[in-house]
Amino acid sequence: MVEKMKAALLYGVRDVRIEEVPVKEIEPDQALIKIKACGICPTDVRSFTGQRKVSDFPRTLGHEWVGEIVEVGSEFKGFKVGDRVAPEWRAICGQCYYCHRGIFNYCQNLQRNKVSGGFYGYGHAAARYMRLIPDGMSYEEAAFAEPLACCLNGSEESGIRVGDDVVVIGAGPIGLQHVQLAKYQGARVIVSEFIESRRQKAKELGADDVIDPTSENPVERVKELTEGRGANAVIVAIGNSEASKTGIEMAGICGSVNFFAGTYPSADIPLDPNVVHYKQLHLTGSHDFTPHHFTTALKLIQFGIVDVKSIISHVMPLEEIADAFDIVANREGLKVIIRMD
């Protein structure tokens, strides 16, 4: 019986504190999970920096968490104490309009009491929301199950086909996962990214061409690289209006443009309907993931289809979480993982 744990609590803008808090008792259908690693998502950082408005302080953060089962409830089935698991925070109901329609990422009735965890010592989850972490996969790698599941959803929305010219705008942790997914689907991948080290990493992970938008016009360059056509698919992995506008300009006939990242604050972009009409463009977005994306993400990591290890720049202890948030906010590294033991 574990009674207390350390937790990172957000008390306000840039005010995150590590405190001792009680561990909630598990329900009969839940397991208690010792959290081993939790990835920092841009969403967490936006709450920390105040870019995203948060009201209910103190607030717990973190949803990319994984760990080891240390206790199970009386009705818990499917996993055992000692199993290494990745729980998905999106605990879908399976009964609402969108679940019945198979659009699980828009479940209207998330079972928030069934899964809880983040930047703290212990988490809880019902078995149906967990996956076993494959042998040989580190907790740090397994923490990518959630972000990679989101990328996979976005990649599917983009309708990438073998031989396509695909542009990824932004080579942060998310963009670098998109690069690998597109590459594996047989695309030729072009990356536009401001930061030199990120362009370099994109090349290491399979990008065929990289563009520095500070020294060349990225739209012109994409056209040059595609015999004037533009891209078959553009994935905008940066949340701002300039990148979104550029994404539309880069798309060729029948091309798709996926606004993968949220924009904070919300912004407008100029859009000539004729461009969409005459080029028969597919403008799409993608948000969150479905249970199948989560399962598949772990498989992509397991079989080396997506190399997530190379995207990790920092593994830091919980005590340094404020510094870790700053590293992400200032784009000083790539993926930052908080190690919990």
User: Candidates 24-32, 49-57, 142-150, 278-286 — which segment interacts with Zn ion by CB under 5 A?
Assistant: 142-150
- Residue 288 interacts with Zn ion (CB under 5 A): yes or no: no
- State the DSSP H helix or E strand holding residue 86, giving kind and residue range, or none if neither: strand 84-87
From residue 80, give the alpha-carbon distance in Å to each of 5, 31, 124, 127. Answer: 22, 9, 14, 10
Residue of 66, 114, 64, 63 whose CA lies nearest to 86: 66
C-beta closer to Zn ion: residue 39 or 121: 39
C-beta closer to Zn ion: residue 80 or 100: 100
**Any idea which residue has 């079989």 for tokens?**
303
Q: How many CA atoms lie within 13 A of 278 on its CB side?
A: 6
- Residue 41 interacts with Zn ion (CB under 5 A): yes or no: yes
Size of residue set near Zn ion by CB under 5 A: 8
- Measured distance CA(322)–CA(333) in Å, rounded: 15
- Measured distance CA(197)–CA(115) in Å, rounded: 37
Of the candidates 38, 99, 148, 238, which one interacts with Zn ion according to CB under 5 A?
99
User: Candidates 75-83, 107-115, 194-202, 305-313 — which segment interacts with Zn ion by CB under 5 A?
Assistant: 107-115
- Residue 107 interacts with Zn ion (CB under 5 A): yes or no: yes
C-beta closer to Zn ion: residue 41 or 257: 41
> How many CB atoms sit inside 10 A of residue 157's CB?
18
C-beta closer to Zn ion: residue 46 or 124: 46
User: Candidates 97-105, 177-185, 195-203, 239-247 — which segment interacts with Zn ion by CB under 5 A?
Assistant: 97-105
C-beta closer to Zn ion: residue 107 or 297: 107
- What residues numbered 143-202 form the site for Zn ion, per CB under 5 A? 147
- Measured distance CA(222)–CA(256) in Å, rounded: 15
What is the contact surface with Zn ion in residues (CB under 5 A)? 41, 92-93, 96, 99, 107, 109, 147
